Structure 1
Amino acid sequence: MEFGLFTVFDNYKNYKATFERTPEQLLHEVLEQTVVADGLGYNAAWFAEHHFSEYGILTTPQTFLAIAAERTENIRLGTAIVTLPFKNPIQVAEDYALLDVLSNGRLNLGLGSGYLPHEFAGFNVEGKDKALRFNDSLAVIEKAWKGEKFSHHGDYYQFTDIKLEVIPKQKEVPIWIGTLSNNGANFVGKMGYNISGVPYVACNSIAELKDIIDSYKDTYRKAGHNEKKVKVPLALHTYVAETTEEAIAIAKPHLDLYLDTRMYGKSAKYQDLRDREQVLIGSPEDVIAMLKRYQDAGCDHIMMLMNFGGLPHEKVLKSMELIAKEVMPAFNKSAEKELLVEVDQGV
């Protein structure tokens, strides 16, 4: 199991006078959290892109990630997600190729077709053909990153005899496509890409999630792709304290605020997510037990959404440190034990 941070950048500074925090303050807090995560051994930091709403104030992840890359050394830097229908695919290919070079090959690229009506309206883009536009855009990016002169004449994008001078440092940039619907996941599996997502938006239980992941992997394998390349990162709201009671008391009001103001998602409260086993809020022992259930369901990278709903920066850092100290080692030991068993058996 790998451990990452995930930030949506929700900043409801005027919501019911709950808290006051400027966009500038939040951006600098997340940068500090990323630096701390790098020092604590987290595998990745993921950042959402949104537009025209306090639900998510980070509009250009590539700019933010470039600063994070300069301040960190090992942590991988990811998008969750870049909404392709809103952008020129050549600009996406150029920007994120440069980011991969500047970060010394640490880019995790999460892509999606978008789901918020007000964002499509803001960009004056029709949502009805977003999947087709997404596929055409992704095809352009893949061609551009080969570093050769190419042409592309699709239904939405046309380019003739162009070539990028800067291509990604990684031979193969890992790409995730945001979906946890059964049909969407299977379609991505046929394409040979990884999936990622937020379970509570798409599923009602861990069992339902497992069925979707199993079907995706089966489709991926039957399409002739190498299943060893599959990595499924899932995002769960997370807060860890010394006791279950303390964690709930601190995190619940902030999670309820986030859920109350989430746009166009499932209507839910903390109790709903708790009952569906879709939060990681509790003691280290609580969270370890829940993570093992997600691991059994096929999740191998947990995107911990820890700075939700105005949760104070110092409490986020405290939770991050406790996770690194008490939760992450439980999975490192498990991996070491499996390796020893393989060695003993001569595998």
Structure 2
Amino acid sequence: MDVGVFLGSQYSADEDISVAVQDLIEQTRLIRDTGYDAIWLGQHFLSHPAQYLQTTPLLSRLSAEAGDMNVGTNLLLLPMLNPVDVAEQYATLDVITGGKLILGVGLGYRAEEFAAMQLDKKDRVGRLVEGVEILKRLWTEDNVSYQGKHFTLDNVSIAPKPLQNRPQIWFGATADKAIERAALQADAWIATSMTEWGEMKRQVDLYHQTRADAGLAKEVRFAKCVELFVGDDKESALREAEPFIGAKYKAYYSWGMGDNVPGESGAGISDFGELTKNRFIVGGVDDVIEDCLYHRDVLGVTDLIVRLNFPGMPRELVRRNIERFASEVIPQVR
């Protein structure tokens, strides 16, 4: 099981954003030097009054510090973007990283983002599917023509091409239909951190069965996002993590992120300890090891994407979380 770090890039309105960028650079160096396999960045628009650093330029800067790690997007909001621009930008980034790019894409869920882009949210599935097809073709073919509902191309090519034959495209998916789409059209599925693990097991089975029914290879990568905090013990870990993870999830739920989560999304749970159960990994070292092994051995996760920094979390606490997980947990679960 590979272990990568999702680097949160959202900050409060009163934080010095130039200091925040330097912190992310230093975190990337620490993640590299302590033996992780990848770094990942997400994307949102219109997060005001919060400050959200945009994915493409930030990932380019952090790639300079990533060493041999993979770099990935988790997730790029492809339906809001032009696939020709994405193909060109991320072909360049693949060259910059020495062929270590993974492009994670998702539908997006915030109506205000689509409205500001002059797009109908109802078109997001079609724009995702067409966009992915265009990316694959532009990266691997010359003289591409395409006629779809949302995009039209007439005999176009991009240069440079990616250093890889084609970067892998992973789909973020929460609802069953989206997971079926990921099984059939993506190189891997990235699962959300909100879904309870019991419900997740059912969806993992759906993912693999959908591929089997389509005659696709049984061996496929499966990534899972996890909010994670390592403390001295369960009680102290919950106490230390709550002001940061708890606040972040209040924001997520207010944005509507839990609307498509099967089963209990956690939106109505006020007690932080209850919210974390079978959803996040928060505890002492032994607790964290046990839960990571569940992800590896029961859910079949091949790529664990852990979030170790959260808005407002002090720098020294972030660093401790990164170092402790790397030294005391990763050797037991990889």
Alignment map for 1:121-132 (pairs within 5 Å): 121-132=115-126
**2:249 matched to 1:259?**
yes
2:41 is matched with 47
1:287 is matched with 288
1:310 counterpart SS class: coil
1:301 is matched with 303
TM-score when normalising by structure 1: 0.87
Counterparts of 2:17 and 2:192, CA distance in 1? 24
Counterparts of 1:173 and 1:118, CA distance in 2? 30
> In the alignment, is the contact (CA less than 8 A) between 1:101 and 1:169 conserved in 2?
yes
> In the alignment, is the contact (CA less than 8 A) between 1:9 and 1:56 conserved in 2?
no
**2:16 matched to 1:2?**
no
- Structure 1 residue 147: Cα displacement: 4.0
1:16 is matched with none
**2:22 matched to 1:36?**
no
1:181 is matched with 175
> In the alignment, is the contact (CA less than 8 A) between 1:241 and 1:283 conserved in 2?
yes
**2:199 matched to 1:208?**
yes
Task: For structure 1, list consecutive stretches of 5 or more residues without a partner in the other structure.
Answer: 14-19, 333-347
> In the alignment, is the contact (CA less than 8 A) between 1:50 and 1:56 conserved in 2?
no
Counterparts of 2:274 and 2:235, CA distance in 1? 17
2:333 is matched with 331
Counterparts of 2:141 and 2:225, CA distance in 1? 33
**2:217 matched to 1:232?**
no
- Structure 1 residue 309: Cα displacement: 3.1
> In the alignment, is the contact (CA less than 8 A) between 1:8 and 1:56 conserved in 2?
no
Cα 1:7–1:71 change in 2 (3 A) is closer
Cα 1:199–1:217 change in 2 (3 A) is same
Counterparts of 1:115 and 1:314, CA distance in 2? 33
Cα 1:192–1:67 change in 2 (3 A) is closer
Counterparts of 2:250 and 2:68, CA distance in 1? 35
Counterparts of 1:218 and 1:55, CA distance in 2? 43
Counterparts of 1:227 and 1:27, CA distance in 2? 40
TM-score when normalising by structure 2: 0.91
Counterparts of 2:90 and 2:65, CA distance in 1? 18
**Mean Cα displacement is larger for which, 160-169 or 20-29?**
20-29
Deviations 1:9-42 (A, max 9, x none): 23234xxxxxx52232222212221121111111
Counterparts of 2:192 and 2:182, CA distance in 1? 16
